[in-house]
Amino acid sequence: MSVKMPEMTTTFEIEVRGNETKSLFVGKFKYVRPTLGARTRIASTIARLNGDVENLNNFEIDQLNRSLAYLRHTIVESPEWWQNSLYGMELYDSNVVDAVYNKCIDFEEEWKLKVHSENVNDVMESKADAIEGFDRKTEG
């Protein structure tokens, strides 16, 4: 007997005022859960963005790079302003990137709940764990 998996994609909208520019960012996004190949590409992009990891002592930049890499490989449809900003890289407002990223991670947490457990406490992970889960497997 096969079990039907929940949808691997979601569509969501954001309406966020930038914390630095005060510009209003509105748009519809389509998110696809990362496959193994996408996870590899995410990890590779994180490594490129962080450069010399040993000398990267800025937690905020490290987290931003992780979010940007994740979104670059999981957002498949987005507003023109997002695409023109190199998928968030050229924005001035980190809270806009955070808003998009958080919507994706919320979907991940809901998806895991549907698949793995009826008990919320069994599968609730921190938002950082949702993207770092694959990193732990590759660390020696």
- What is the arithmetic mean of pLDDT over 3-26? 93
pLDDT category at 139 given cuts 50, 70, 90 is very low
Q: Which domain holds residue 42?
A: 9-138
Establish if 22 belongs to a structural domain. yes
- Say which residue, 134 or 9, is predicted with more confidence: 9
For 16-47, how does the pLDDT look when each residue is reduced to its tens digit (9 = 90+)? 999 999 999 999 999 999 999 999 999 999 98
Give the whole-angstrom CA distance, residue 40 versus residue 138.
10
Domain count along the chain:
1
Q: Rounded to 10 degrees, what is the CA torsion of 101, 48, 125, 19?
A: -30
- For residue 106, the Cα-to-chain-centroid distance in whole angstroms is 10
The dihedral over CA atoms of 124, 4, 132, 109, expressed in degrees to the nearest 10, equals -30
**Residue 28: inside a domain:** yes
Q: Has residue 117 been placed in a domain?
A: yes
Domain membership of residue 4 (yes or no) is no
Residue 129 has pLDDT above 60, yes or no: no
Q: Convert 106-127 to b/e letters by CB count within 10 Å (16 or more is b).
A: ebbbebbbeeeeeeeeeeeeeb
Sign for the pseudo-dihedral over CA of 105, 110, 115, 116: positive
Tell me whether residue 2 is in a domain.
no
65-77: pLDDT as tens digits? 999 999 999 999 9
